[in-house]
Amino acid sequence: MTGESHDSSTDRGHAVVTGASSGIGRAVAERLLAGGWRVTGIDRAASALSHPRFASLQADLSDPPVLIEVLAEVGTVTALVHAAGYMRVGRLGELAPDDSEGMWRVHVGAAEALANALAPDMREGGRIVLIGSRTANGAAGRSQYAATKAALTGLARSWAIELAPRQVTVNVIAPAATDTPFLRDRSRAGTAPVLPPMGRYVDPGEVAALTAFLLSPEAAAITGQTITICAGASL
């Protein structure tokens, strides 16, 4: 587990983290646990994380009715981090509608179902963070993925306006290529990620650190924003 140096003596609240079995979602869960949060991970696969303040729930994030049933076990939460996701690629003339629909269900539909179920009961000072992608700005061969990630900005800004009177913030973190198993997914064949100018990929711990900050009291005035972590890829 990472982040052992962080203060774990204070109960920061209860966070739901999707995709907690690997990659960015797991890094976020580990960071929050090290910081004193109670975390419920929701993923299609069981998480190998072991911690007294961690609970793992299995659910198909592409199936909203099933996801909503699982959420009934969660109770009231302080924060929601939607980190689950995947990529399918294809150029014009080769686009598969099923790929687009599948990514939309996991990236956008699940975010909608999660926030719709959990946000109404969040107390003042609650937090929502959606993990987007720098690819939302557009990338050849990744149009369907880019479209689903771009939609998260519209959701976040709309929800931020709705929830501002309750001091609940909603933000998107948009990483460039991040060093996770997702980066080496065989489905990305032919559209390999470009190494950023810094000469390395984004570390999932860096995304987790920004997530932890956005969930903190110090970030109470940051809402409706999309924050990019790209190791210089946007320059």
Residues annotated as part of the active site: 145
Strands (E), 24-143: 37-43, 54-58, 79-82, 127-131
Cα–Cα distances (Å) from 47 to 15, 22, 68, 73, 147, in that order, read 15, 8, 19, 17, 28
Residue reference for tokens 């580990």: 30
Q: Which residues contact 167 (CB under 8 A, 6 or more apart)?
A: 124, 125, 126, 220
Q: Give the distance from CA 81 to its chain's centroid.
A: 5
Sign of CA dihedral 23, 25, 26, 31: positive
Two tokens, residue 19: 């995709």
Question: For residue 107, what are its two tokens?
Answer: 């990236």
- Asked if 180 and 156 touch (Cβ cutoff 8 Å), the reply is no
